[in-house]
Structure 1
Amino acid sequence: MTHHPDHEVELFKDEGAYQVYVDLPGYDRDDVDLRWHDGRLHVTAEHRTGAGETRVFNRHVSVPRRIDADAISATFGEDVLTVRLPVAEGGSRPGTRIEVGE
């Protein structure tokens, strides 16, 4: 069963991965271009209608942990794109932690 998001894009964390749900009514699987680049998920969809109009959807999703890019998976069904972003081993937050003083 497909999760139908209440918003255009929803992000959830489950055991060891983030789940991203993107509501794309009126788009087909072939309309979707999905990329992981520079620590962000890039979702672009472009649909051309018979009347010559073009509908474009473009969103970026960031997560606070390192992702195993080779294990990312995605499915599309019932107008919803579902992307699984597995957290990498030792998936601490990227960057250097900075202590905040008084």
Structure 2
Amino acid sequence: MALRRNPASNWLRSANVPSRLFETTESDYELYEEDDEFVLTVELPGFDPADIDVSWNEGVLNVAAEHEDEKRDRQRTYHRRFRFPKDVDDEAIAAEYTNGILEVRLPVATGITRGKTIEVEG
């Protein structure tokens, strides 16, 4: 049984199109849990701390950044939302931006009960 070739691959080779244009890119963030807190690092090179907005709303962390480069007449934007599987102590969330990397630390809330038991009357 012969394998069918992808006709697009021949076209891409003949057009001399760089293959990296069609590769999947690696993630621009890393999210993990350690020592009872979530740690999120996001690669945001070229932004200033004032360009970055981090907000928390109902279990979702929103990271947005916007930078206008007047010399090159271009605007860069970034926006991503992160949902967390555990309750987070929103009063203790901390964010720091150093050398193009945004690091957000979100402590896991302890002693919070999710949900509620409903008593059935009868």
Normalized against structure 1, the TM-score is what? 0.80
Question: 1:37-78 CA distances to partner (integer Å, 9 max, x unpaired)?
Answer: 120110000000023321110001111000000000010001
In structure 2, give the amino acid aligned to 1:40. Answer: V
Aligned to 1:64: 85
Bigger radius of gyration among the two: 2
Aligned to 2:97: 76
In structure 2, give the amino acid aligned to 1:21. Answer: T
8 Å CA contact 1:22–1:82 kept in 2: the answer is yes
Aligned-residue Cα RMSD (Å) equals 1.7
- Where structure 1 has 5 or more consecutive residues not aligned to the other structure, the ranges are 1-5, 97-102
Whole-angstrom CA distance in 1 between matches of 2:37 and 2:74: 37
User: Secondary structure of 1:30's match?
Assistant: helix
4+ long deviations beyond 4 Å: none
Q: Cα–Cα, structure 1 residues 91 and 83, in superposed 2: closer, same or farther, change >3 Å?
A: farther
8 Å CA contact 1:7–1:23 kept in 2: the answer is no
| More deviation, 56-65/45-54 | 45-54
Q: Greater relative contact order (Cα 8 A, min sep 6): structure 1 or 2?
A: 1
Aligned to 1:28: 48
Whole-angstrom CA distance in 2 between matches of 1:74 and 1:91: 23
State the 1:95 CA deviation.
Answer: 5.3
Aligned to 1:17: 37
In structure 2, give the amino acid aligned to 1:7. Answer: S
- Where structure 2 has 5 or more consecutive residues not aligned to the other structure, the ranges are 1-25, 117-122
Q: Cα–Cα, structure 1 residues 91 and 62, in superposed 2: closer, same or farther, change >3 Å?
A: farther
